[in-house]
Amino acid sequence: MATTDLERQSTSKVDLADAPSRDWGWHGTNRAGARIAGVVVAIFLVCMLHGNQIGHVEDIWLVVFAVAILLIILRDYIVHRGKWKNSGKHI
């Protein structure tokens, strides 16, 4: 009898209900990709300062959001530096 995806047996000790992505071979986050995306978004926000705004309230918000994104990236880098990707600990 042919098996379906639901009937497939796995040799992993991780329960499929706890980690459905286990079967795809991916389990975790891509920290480097998230950091790069954050820096790109912050640069984009700073580039939006060049515009046709008469009042500078928009400029203040753009700078505040760009700085907040960069501070979050810096905090993530400081907290997670030196930790291996596959340390076995879930954060």
Q: What is the pLDDT of residue 42?
A: 97
User: ∠42-40-60 over CA atoms, to 5°?
Assistant: 15
> Structural domain tally of the chain?
1
Quick one: pLDDT at residue 20? 61
- Assigned domain for 91 exists: no
In b/e form, how buried is each residue of 24-60, taking b as 16+ CB within 10 angstroms? eeeeeeeeeeeeeebeeebeebbeeeeeeeeeeeeee
Give the tens place of pLDDT for each residue, 54-87: 888 899 999 999 999 999 999 998 988 876 555 4
Which pLDDT belongs to residue 62?
94
Report DSSP state, residue 58. Answer: H
State pLDDT tens for residues 3-57: 565 555 555 565 656 666 556 666 567 888 999 999 999 999 999 988 877 888 8
Q: What is the pLDDT of residue 32?
A: 87
Q: Would you state the pLDDT for residue 51?
A: 80
Residue 37 contacts residue 69 (beta carbons within 8 Å): no
Q: Is 38 within the bounds of a domain?
A: yes
Residue with tokens 């978004």: 41
Residue ranges making up the domain that contains 54: 30-80
45 SS3 class: helix
Residue 58 falls within a domain, yes or no?
A: yes
